[in-house]
Structure 1
């Protein structure tokens, strides 16, 4: 599965590695940062909890020092003056408070407040602590916080627009008299301070990650674009096209590579031209002496010696013709074009049938981009071999896995498996081949393979399960 997901192109691989590296780094940094943030928030919240608890213990002492009949009057005066640090109320029993969802930091704050209150007021009967949301907070029997006058709470608690959790402290002053105090923490939104996944932080990290990824993609594309140009130039040169020289721009390494490739292409081109001139010279220089030797051999009186001379000269002449044929059939200078296989193969089939051969073929409607004359010679060589050695041939075409296939099958005796690899060697002819075609040179398959490989394809020879040899051409679709 990993191999299937792994991109094939260098651009895809570099992009995937850089994206994965950035994501892993971002997640690791977030994990470290969130751990530090939680630890810092916990220390700050516990310090604030101690401050709130000391203030609450002072308020509790104050109300305990007042006569019970004066407490309500003092609370009323504080409300009219605008309130104090706490919203204070007196109840006859402990009020049931609906708490917020469980939160580790809120539990730590309540534990710190409770411990501090017990330390300041060791003789107190106990404390009831809770965090509640303003819209769900009950201040006395049946009375919610939202039902109170705004003047009583607007300077003490945050109700709008973004409510904050409220700490509620309840303690019994005397039997039947409960003091109810509600207050905000010094940092009202302390529960959100240690959340590394808050939407604003995620949005900021997402924007920074997107910017870095975009720059990485641009850099990767800038790096790989010259390599793609180099690959295209190599493919065009391999197929015989005259591509323009590579631009010497970009990084120093690519400039050096482009210069080395251009120099290599020029050396190969000079070698090909020198080879063509060499074979032209061979054609001109060897044919004349061979002809003179043949004429002189006719003057020999010894018939046996004359026959030996003529056989050696015929063999030499055949080798020269074969070498020239290899160059002539392989080096075909054409421009690639869209070739309709039905038209090209139809001509070959009609020519074979006019010569009295039996060839089967069905139209397929497929096309390939190739050099028409070179491809025709390659398929013609395969068809000639099939007709020489099998008497009857069948041609079929198809497309599979991004390639166009052309199969030429004969109905001959086939080829021994150990001899298949040597069929492409020059001047190699099997025993039954010499019997069927004594005038051949054993060069047709090598020429056909050279032409097919120049088109970026493959020529595969294998014995057909039902008998005979099957030659399959695979060309890029």
Structure 2
């Protein structure tokens, strides 16, 4: 339990995240399986209670029937002279027996009872009550259920299996599946005990009342397996188009739209409409990018000529101060046009993804910076990522250039984390105010100390770097280091091993 109701339990949340599948297919299957299991358990519980009640009613009725028959047999043998009883029993055995196996003993014969069972106890209680009602003057009855292989039927430990088969084969079930036998013993007169053994009308009433027997659980298990299999097929047919849609959206976001085939317009009506809408959106995005490229090409072509013409005219001005003002404005305008064009080119690099060894890529950048007189720290990591080499070099180069421009020295660190590769570029400068971190990615935004350190920049480097990193499926974050300076953290997806595919 959490001590604070307003805060989440980290242990329970972590356990829940581990138990709940991450994929939509897994979650839907988990919900469906849980729903089916709960339904099966509830239905089985209701059915078990009904079956238990029905078994109790049937057992009570059968026990009364057996008790009335036993009461009639006891009256009959009591009415016979003692000398004729053994003769009658012998004749009954030769005829194949009656409802009961009957024997006469001089004392009570101990019986090894079966394991306690609610239905057996109820049957014995009902038989005892019925016998007492039918034979109120009887001295008493000894009742028990026993298994045939352990049943003693006479004095001196004479067992049922020792008797001739003809005496009991029409009365009791011995083979192939023995049934429990009800034994009734009563003293009909001093020194003479009547021993009666019989089966219940439903010999297997004990096993038939078990709602969780294997023969009853098997159909439920088979039905559950069939329903789960059908659910798996249906849910998979639903989630597979969603996975294709996710892959297509990721490809569009990372600039791989040309290599992705159009989404098939098959399946449910909702997915067909989604596929058509996505296809139309992808076409609009492609047209927008083409229009943007044409627009900037036109701007480059149309603005360079008037800017050059204005510079030539400015040279003809006699007033030096006015001429210098015009030239500064034109230089600034020219720089803005070049910066905008460079931003488009840097964020739209057309090249094929490849395996990139970060040690080689960063090592060349560090060596070039050190040759230029900068202090850069880096240790080889042996990590490889998948991406566009030139684009990734440009993004990391922009981050390193920022660190060198605005800090006394820079440190590059590379490490692996579950599912990702992290590259951190830290400078040892003054850092950035916390409220200004979010605005650093905006174009042409530069802080005061940045303008002092690099007056030739235009504030486009971080935005270009973030666009390239996000096109690789990663993320670029900025934060201040506790010991001073700014940390630019690039988190890229880990390279997928060969032969392993995502679900």
1:317 partnered with 2:331: no
Cα distance in 2, alignment partners of residues 392 and 234 from structure 1: 40
Q: How does 1:242-321 map to 2 (within 5 A)?
A: 242=258, 243-321=260-338
Name the structure 2 match of 1:238. 253
Aligned residue for 1:185, secondary structure, equals coil
Cα deviation 1:320-360 (Å, max 9, x = unaligned): 11111110110111111111111111221222222222222
Q: Describe the SS at the equivalent of 2:104.
A: strand
Measured in 2, the distance between the counterparts of 1:215 and 1:238 equals 35
Structure 1 unpaired stretches of 5+: none
Q: Does 1:125 align with 2:129?
A: no
SS at match of 2:399: helix
Determine the C-alpha separation between the residues in 2 that align with 1:464 and 1:118: 94
- How big is the alpha-carbon RMSD for the aligned residues of Structure 1 and Structure 2? 1.3
Classify the secondary structure of the residue corresponding to 2:175.
coil
> 2:165 maps to which residue?
150
Q: Deviations over 1:249-283 (max 9, x none)?
A: 11111000000000001001100110000000000
For 1:355-366, list aligned pairs within 5 A. 355-366=372-383
Q: Which residue of the partner structure matches residue 71 of structure 2?
A: 57
Structure 2 residue matching 1:56: 3-state secondary structure: helix
Query: Any residues of structure 2 matched to 1:384-399 within 5 Å, and which?
Result: 384-399=401-416
- TM-score norm. by structure 1 comes to 0.97
1:374 aligns with 2:387: no
| Residue of structure 2 aligned with 1:45, choices 59, 82, 98 | 59
Secondary structure of the 1:114 match is: helix
**3-state SS of paired residue (1:471):** strand
Inter-partner Cα distance in structure 1 for 2:363 and 2:214: 69
Deviations 1:111-146 (A, max 9, x none): 221222222222222221111111221112222222
Three-state SS of the structure 1 residue aligned to 2:107 is: coil
1:93 Cα deviation from its structure 2 partner: 1.4
Three-state SS of the structure 2 residue aligned to 1:195 is coil
Q: Deviations over 1:217-258 (max 9, x none)?
A: 111111111001100110011100021100111111100000
Equivalent-residue separation in structure 2 for 1:136 and 1:239 (angstroms): 80
Partner of residue 191, structure 2:
176
Q: Which moved more, 1:150-159 or 1:231-240?
A: 150-159
Corresponding residue for residue 107 of structure 2: 93
SS class of match (1:157): coil
Match of 1:80 in 2: 94
Cα deviation for residue 158 of structure 1 reads 1.1
Question: How far does the alpha carbon of each residue in 1:161-197 deviate from its partner, in whole angstroms, 9 at most, with x for none?
Answer: 2111100111111111110000001110011111101
Select which of 115, 119, 122 maps to 1:105. Answer: 119
Structure 1 segment 437-452 matched on structure 2, within 5 A: 437-452=454-469
- CA distance in 1 between counterparts of 2:401 and 2:17 reads 44
Indicate whether 1:18 and 2:32 are aligned.
yes
Q: Return the offset for 1:2.
A: 2.9
Shift of 1:297: 1.3
2:453 and 2:367 mapped to 1: Cα distance? 22
Counterpart secondary structure, 1:442: coil
Aligned residue in 1 for 2:50: 36
Of 115, 124, 131 in structure 1, the residue corresponding to residue 129 of structure 2 is: 115
Give the CA deviation at 1:80: 2.0
Range that drifts further, 248-257 or 133-142: 133-142
Which of 402, 421, 424 aligns to 2:419? It is 402
Query: Aligned partners of 2:101, 2:324: CA distance in 1, in Å?
Result: 131
Q: Distance in 2 between matches of 1:25 and 1:297?
A: 87
